[in-house]
Amino acid sequence: MSRGPRWIAISLLSLALALPASAADLKADITVRVIYAVKAEAKSFDPALDDIRQELVDLPFTKFRLLDKLEATVAINSTVELQFPGQRSIAVRFLGLDVSGSKEMLSLQLAIKPALNMQMRVADGGRTLLGGPSHLDGTLFLDVTARLQEIGAASKPADDQPLRAKDTRANPAPKEGNR
């Protein structure tokens, strides 16, 4: 084998090792929080929404309450659905990984039945807040979070497993027998 083809073969092998086994092995952890917002005389925040309080303060509402929360691990091209008030439901479909830009993005299809169907991209581990339909005297908001994982991978690696390139765990302390 001449030097050129050998170099190409080694490059292709290293690229193959860096990618998931196949697109079918991808799945995403998706969380959708349904938030009810109204204009009221007294300000009020559900403590379950403290992590996004700064975003909510900028909205033209004064009272925010978490109505429901959907947490699911969804395989590529699969859908999860959540029923929420007013004979409505939200369906989230994981379409795959979009690597066309400088950052990996999860591609999701979001459908609020019966009225809205949209496709969106969320950064791996990122979230977005969407205005939803009116409900009673207020409005529903959807807080969507998505994180990529591989099928078969534990959601939290064991301490005795090697760190992966995207693993943000701190280096674990050595075990008692290994000192």
Task: Give pLDDT, residue 164.
Answer: 35
What is the per-residue pLDDT for 6?
42
Cα distance between the two ends of the chain: 46
Q: Which pTM does this prediction carry?
A: 0.68
Q: Map residue 152 onto helix, strand or coil.
A: coil
Strands 105-113 and 88-98 come out as: antiparallel
SS3 of the chain: helix, strand, coil, percent, to 5: 20, 45, 35
pLDDT value, residue 175: 42
The pLDDT of residue 90? 86
Residues of the chain with pLDDT under 70: 1-24, 85-86, 150-179
Quote the pLDDT of residue 150. Answer: 60
